Structure formats: structure tokens, C-alpha cells
Structure 1
Amino acid sequence: MSGREFFTARTLAEVRAGFRPARRTPVEQVPLSRALHRVPAADITAPAALPGFARSTVDGFAVRAMDTYGASDGLPSYLDLIGAVRMGAAPTVAVRAGGCVAMPTGGVIPDGADAVVMVEYTAETMPGTIEVTRPVAPGGGIVRADEDVVAGGVLAPAGRPLRAPDLGFLAAAGVTTVAVHRRPRVAIISTGDEVVPPGTVELAAGQVRDATASALAGLVADAGGEPVIAGIVPDEPGALKERLTEILAESDLVVVSAGSSVGARDETAGAVAAIGDIWCHGIAIKPGKPTLLAECSGVPLVGLPGNPLSALVVFGQVGIPLLWRIAGCEAPPPQPSTRARLSRDLASAAGRLDVVQVAVRDGVAEPIFGPSALLSVLTRADGYMIVPEPATGLDAGTEVEVILYR
């Protein structure tokens, strides 16, 4: 086994802080219709202030605030109704002392007014006279012309994936195309003489269909990448090195499924060492310890364990953050989570981070156990929880954070 032992295992925190490849995808212009979850390459700024004019936030009457001071149900203020503002049109009247103008929500504030009193606090006691029963402060019921954003202000920051509200904000500012990082191209290679394509109808003894590549492709697509299933490489000396050499030039990230352990058939470390630099081989995480991280010609590479559960768990913890970084996002968007009470005692080993699959029912997290070769453990889980490195276990009833699967 000389030369095939694990390197000293790194903690997950060390991996995330230390393995930081410089590679970023190039920048491209895309329309807003294709910009959801894309990562801006630079701050997107407002060409003009928004909303661009002072507008009413309520249905009511534009007034001078001082004309409402002291108004109450018992002693209302009376104002002359001198006109109305139409939606989508500039005001044709101005507010004078003792007067008011009828306002729709979103209407342009007429000159002379510094507040809008809600219609609920008014009544038309006689034609042309409005009774006001609540005072309003200056600025009440009004959005300033630059309250959403000032001219030149940041509409969407660089490095944060665009969300649906961001697209609306950009559209309101008249920004219809944005400069974003291209989606990372992620090549997924499967290895092993026993692995056959999913479409294989009849399995020979010892053969298994390639389930991991399809699941990894789903994780990549869900994180905004473009998965490329790059085929199955047999356990032949030199075969993996040759395939890696072929796909590096067209990939932003390479994922090798299986072959990263230390068995006699496991070729990933040797193939990668021949064409690149291994950063670590072994992460203090369960499942997924035999994970390999490297760079080959400037392209990051993740070598995953062969068991599907281990491969998917560790790719979620290491590969997804790496994919987002390549796409220009330093911190992956947070996943939905919930708090739940642990249903049973949970053992762990100090110095190792454990990722535990759980089902959540009525606020209780029930751990799901099973061999790391079984994908059903993941399909039955609602999410996962983390037992941190220093812990030697968690007691039943402990409140834990469960990261939910979408």
C-alpha cells in the first residue's frame, strides 16, 4: 500500500477556507428572462433614481401636513377639495394652504403637498369639503423620488445570485440585460469495470447501473451549473489520465465518481497526480472521507468516493460551494432549513464532522441510517443535520438545525 495511503485528512472548515481555486467562468450578457440565479460580474447600478417621482403609498388626499395638526374625531380639520390626480399623469393642480387633492395609490404628489392622509381618516361632509380626523406628519403616505435607489446606486451587487425581486428591481430601472458569469461546465466522469450505463437492460453478475452520475448532474443543475456526463472509464492503467486530459480544456470543474479511495483498483489519485496538483486526499467527514481535491491545468477537480450516498453527501458539502465560487459567488446561497428536536441519541467521533440524513415529522428529526451504497437513504430523507467535529454525539431531545432538500 506504499504511496496509496490517505494524506492527513483535512477538516471541512479547512477545505472550504483553503481550497480556493482562482478559476472563474467568463462573463456574458444575458436578458433578464435568463438571468434568474445568475451571478453578476460587477455591481449593477441604477441609471436614474427610483421611483423617479414622489408618489403616494395610499389612497387619500395630498395635503400640507400642518393643516392636519390637532385633527381628531371630536375636532376634525376641514380642507377644500381643489382637484384630483390621475394615475399615470402629472398633476394639474397644486396644494395650497387649507386645500387638498384627491390621490390614488401610486399617484404623483402635486406641488405644495408634503403628506397624504389616508382616505379612512377622511369624509366628504359636503361637496368640495373634506373632513380630516387624524393628523399626518410631513412625509407620511409618501415615497420620495429616490427612496428606492438613488441615481448610480447599486441595484444588485456583484457576486450574489440574482433572485426574482432583483429582476423586478432591474426591470423597474430599465435594465434589460445584465453582465453575468457563464454557468460553469461540470464534467462528470464515472469509473469502474462494474459500472454500466443506466439504459443497460440486463445486468451481468457484478454489474451496477451508473446512478451516481445522474444524481450528481441533478445537483450541478440545481446549483446553476451545466452538467456534462462524460462517460464511464474502466479500471485500466492510463485510461482515466487519458480521459481527464481530453475533457480539461472544455470544463470549468471536473468530478470523478469512484476511484478516490486507497484500494488496489482506485486510480484517481495516480491519474490526477500525473497531470495536476493534489491539494488534499481525505476529509474528516462521514460519509465521504476518501475525497480528493486537486487542480489540473487550472481546472478544479473533485474525486468522490464510489458509494453513491457518500459521493452525493460530500459533493453537497464541498462540490456545490466550489461550483458557486467558480461562477463568481463567494458564498453559496443559503438553503432552506428548520429547527427540530432529535428523536434519539446520536453517537459521533470527535474530530470528524458527521452529516446525518433525517426525516422531519411534527418538529421531530428522525435519523435515517443505512449503508453508504444505498441511495434510498437519501430519497427517504427530508434533509440533513450536522454533528460538528468537536462533538462526541448528541442527546435525544437536542434542538438541531435541519437543512432541507428542495
Structure 2
Amino acid sequence: MTSPQRLPTSLTPLDRALDALLNGVEPVAPVELTLKEALRCIAAEMPPLQAHPQRDIAAADGYAFCARDLVGASSYAPLPLSAPPVWVEAGEAMPEACDCVLDSDSVDVSGPLPQVLAEAIPGQGVRRAGGDIAAGSLVAEAGRRVLPRDLLVACAAGLERLKVRRPRLRIVNVPGGAVTADLIAESARATGADVVSSTAAGRDAGSIAAALDDGACDLLLIIGGSGVGRTDAAVMALAARGKILAHGIALQPGRTSAVGRLSKIPVVVLPGAPDQALAAWWTLALPAVDRLSGRRLRKTVNLPLARKIASHVGLAEIVLLERKQDMWIPLAVSELSLESIARAEAWLVVSGGSEGFAAGSPVDAYMLRD
């Protein structure tokens, strides 16, 4: 009978484990994707756009005029026209020398001579050249997520594809943790990663090792089997196929997590329990995805704490937070219930060298729905 895998006598500090995981990891090469596929991916360098619209267009249906020709016109002093006015539909190019559009109620065409019944100002009813997209602007800045509003700009500019970075992420689920694997897979897709999931044939080291493939991904996640139970063998499987950089992280929850390499591919072994897997995802796997995507530093929200957070020195501890009245309310520290996970709006990690934060202290937290 194979001996169960064991944790080392001392846990690896979280920052050291992360440094080992990210060592040598570089952003993946950009790819061109359709607009639908590029949504949520991280933008690569993009060429500057031309102005849109390229010339003045009508913003509403009506009659096109030059505003200075209408000075003094009103219903009490109609301005007769020597020629029929030009009608334009919204979106049509403005005629030469015209800089405003009047609606049909402001022009009387029922008599022998058309009459204008109102003044206008330059630009009234008109969308100026470059009014939607300024010349030289970008669909999205490199390192930022492509959002739905960016696709509006791309469509208006006539683009059909965008250049983005989309790392290939492979998830190998150890049988028994399908719910956790689905949770992590959905979290990974939300980052824009190209996610492929599979399940090992069994929980033994041989079955898990057979499911590992270093040729089809940029980051490998193994979910489950990281503990020291009799059926836990994920770390031994990784050791047989690759290299273990750290097993046993000073992280609570998630201390049985591991990081390693499979050939040149970074690997994170996440525990099978949802709270422990999320802790390892946020602190280890997500930074690896961001590095591969070329994403800029994630923004945090700084708010004061409604009450103190007490932490154990030597362990990095995950805190879940809820926002109320512009303050962070701690929902859970270290022990993360499913209810607190469902309610949480943000998270932070208390470093292993800290005893926590006093009530009223401003803290930076990462939003769970960015």
C-alpha cells in the first residue's frame, strides 16, 4: 500500500510560494479573436482608431440648415426660403455648409414658400465628426479587460476582430470535487481564460498523473487530492510527472495547497473543499492568470473597517467582506462558510506578519464582481 502524501514540518509563506510559481512566467502571445470571443479577455496593444463619424452627420430626422442663416426666425416672424429645405434622416451625412437640423414642426412647407419658424444654434441636431470616437483613441487600453461597452466602440469603428491575450487554462479534477471544479472553472472563465476541464479516472496517483498534460495549456490547475488523507494523491502525481515547488502553504484556509511545474507549465494544486480552493485560487492561481494575460494590477477599493480583524501571526488569512454604508464589514476570517462566500462582495488577505486591523482602519479589498 502506498504511503499517503505528507505536509512538510514547516509551511511555506504565501509570498514565497507565489514568487516560486510566477518565476519565469511571461504574458502569452496575443491572438486575434472575434468581438464575441474577445469579451472579458485582456486587451493587447491595439492600433489607434480613426475618428467616428468621419464627418458631421444628422443626429435626428429633420431639415438641414446653416444656423447663422436662421437668426431672428420665429413663429411671429417666419423666415421665408427661396428654395425647398433639404431633409436629412438620422445618421445621414450633413450637406455642405449646413451645421444644424430643425425638426419638422419648426419648418412650414404647406404654403407656396417654405418658412422657418425657429432659430437654431450650430451643432443642434448634429453629431460632429469624431463625436463618437476621437481620432487616435483605443478600443481598450493594453492590460485592461475588454468590456461590453468596448465592443460598442469596436462595432462603430467597423472592427470585426480584436487582439487580446487569452491564456489556456487546464483544470484536472480529482473525482469527488465536481462542484468545486465547476466553481473554479467559472471563476477562470470570468478572467477571459480559455478553460478546458477534465476528470482523472481515479483518485490514485497513477490515474491523476495520466490526466496531466503539459502540451495543451499555459497554466494547469489540479483540484482535490492535496491533503494527507488515504485517498489524496495529487501532489504525488505531480511529483511523478513534474516538480513540486511548495506543498503546505501558510494560508488559511488552503494550507494543503501546492505549487509546482509540469515541464515549463506552472501548476497549482487546489484543495477540494470550496473555501480552501477559492483561497488558493485568489492568492495563487489568479495572479498566475493575470501574469499570463498581461493584465495590469487589479484595482482595490479602500474603505474603513466596521469592526476589527484579529489574525494569527505566521499565517496569511483570507477575510471576506461586505460593503455597508461605505464601510467594510468582515463576514468571515479564515473559516469561510458557504453562506459567507455567497454574501461576500470583496476579499483581502491579512499577511502572515500581521496581527490584523483595528476597527476604523482603512483597508484595500479586491472586489469579487469587477
Q: TM-score, normalised by structure 2?
A: 0.71
What is the letter of the counterpart of residue 129 of structure 1? Q
1:143 aligns with 2:127: yes
Aligned counterpart, 1:100: none
Aligned counterpart, 1:24: 28
1:162 aligns with 2:146: yes
**Matched position secondary structure for 1:53:** coil
CA deviation string 1:215-254 (max 9, x = no partner): 2223223333323133265355x665x336x422233321
In the TM superposition, residue 33 of structure 1 has moved relative to its aligned partner by: 4.3
**Matched position secondary structure for 1:288:** coil
Contact 2:318 2:347 in 1 (8 A): yes
Q: Paired residue for 2:181, among 203, 207, 213?
A: 213
Contact 1:11 1:283 in 2 (8 A): no
Aligned counterpart, 1:202: none
Q: Paired residue for 2:346, among 384, 389, 401?
A: 384
Q: Paired residue for 1:254, among 211, 220, 227?
A: 220
Contact 2:13 2:250 in 1 (8 A): yes
Aligned counterpart, 2:57: 55
In the TM superposition, residue 163 of structure 1 has moved relative to its aligned partner by: 2.5
Residues 8 and 77 of structure 1: CA distance in aligned 2, closer, same or farther (over 3 Å): farther
Contact 1:19 1:279 in 2 (8 A): no
Aligned counterpart, 1:200: none
In the TM superposition, residue 176 of structure 1 has moved relative to its aligned partner by: 2.7
Distance 1:77 1:119 in 2: 15
Structure 1 residues 106-255: aligned runs within 5 Å: 106-113=91-98, 115-116=99-100, 128-133=114-119, 136-137=121-122, 142-149=126-133, 154-178=138-162, 180-181=164-165, 184-190=168-174, 196-197=175-176, 210-224=178-192, 225-231=194-200, 234=203, 240=208, 242-243=209-210, 246-255=212-221
In the TM superposition, residue 344 of structure 1 has moved relative to its aligned partner by: 3.8
Distance 1:397 1:330 in 2: 29
Contact 1:308 1:373 in 2 (8 A): no
What is the letter of the counterpart of residue 100 of structure 2? V
CA deviation string 1:102-161 (max 9, x = no partner): xxx433211112x32665996769862324456x35x56543434444788644455544
Contact 1:278 1:293 in 2 (8 A): yes
Residues 19 and 189 of structure 1: CA distance in aligned 2, closer, same or farther (over 3 Å): farther
Contact 2:8 2:247 in 1 (8 A): no
Distance 2:264 2:134 in 1: 41
**Matched position secondary structure for 2:185:** helix
Contact 1:356 1:386 in 2 (8 A): yes
Q: Paired residue for 1:393, among 324, 332, 357?
A: 357
Distance 1:129 1:8 in 2: 84
Q: Paired residue for 1:85, among 63, 84, 87?
A: 87
Please report the RMSD computed on the Cα atoms of aligned residues, expressed in angstroms. Answer: 4.9
Aligned counterpart, 2:258: 292
Distance 1:376 1:108 in 2: 57
CA deviation string 1:307-348 (max 9, x = no partner): 43121122034323423543x34238769x7x8875543323
What is the letter of the counterpart of residue 288 of structure 2? L
What is the letter of the counterpart of residue 95 of structure 2? P
Contact 1:77 1:133 in 2 (8 A): no
CA deviation string 1:163-200 (max 9, x = no partner): 3233333333333344555562422233xxxxx54xxx
Residues 217 and 74 of structure 1: CA distance in aligned 2, closer, same or farther (over 3 Å): closer
Residues 287 and 405 of structure 1: CA distance in aligned 2, closer, same or farther (over 3 Å): farther
Aligned counterpart, 1:90: none
Aligned counterpart, 1:98: none
Distance 2:33 2:365 in 1: 37
Q: Paired residue for 2:295, among 293, 313, 330?
A: 330
Residues 79 and 35 of structure 1: CA distance in aligned 2, closer, same or farther (over 3 Å): farther
Q: Identity rate of aligned residues, in percent?
A: 22
1:368 aligns with 2:331: yes
Q: TM-score, normalised by structure 1?
A: 0.66
What is the letter of the counterpart of residue 345 of structure 1? K
Residues 53 and 254 of structure 1: CA distance in aligned 2, closer, same or farther (over 3 Å): same
1:302 aligns with 2:265: no
Distance 2:265 2:6 in 1: 28
In the TM superposition, residue 58 of structure 1 has moved relative to its aligned partner by: 4.9
Distance 1:149 1:213 in 2: 42
Aligned counterpart, 1:92: none
Greater Cα offset, 50-59 or 256-265: 256-265
Contact 2:167 2:289 in 1 (8 A): no
Greater Cα offset, 311-320 or 360-369: 360-369
Gapped runs of 5+ residues in structure 1? 88-104, 191-195, 198-208
- How many equivalent residue pairs? 360
In the TM superposition, residue 36 of structure 1 has moved relative to its aligned partner by: 2.7
Residues 357 and 159 of structure 1: CA distance in aligned 2, closer, same or farther (over 3 Å): closer
Contact 1:291 1:305 in 2 (8 A): yes
Gapped runs of 5+ residues in structure 2? none
Residues 40 and 287 of structure 1: CA distance in aligned 2, closer, same or farther (over 3 Å): same
Q: Paired residue for 1:37, among 40, 50, 54?
A: 40
Contact 1:23 1:299 in 2 (8 A): no
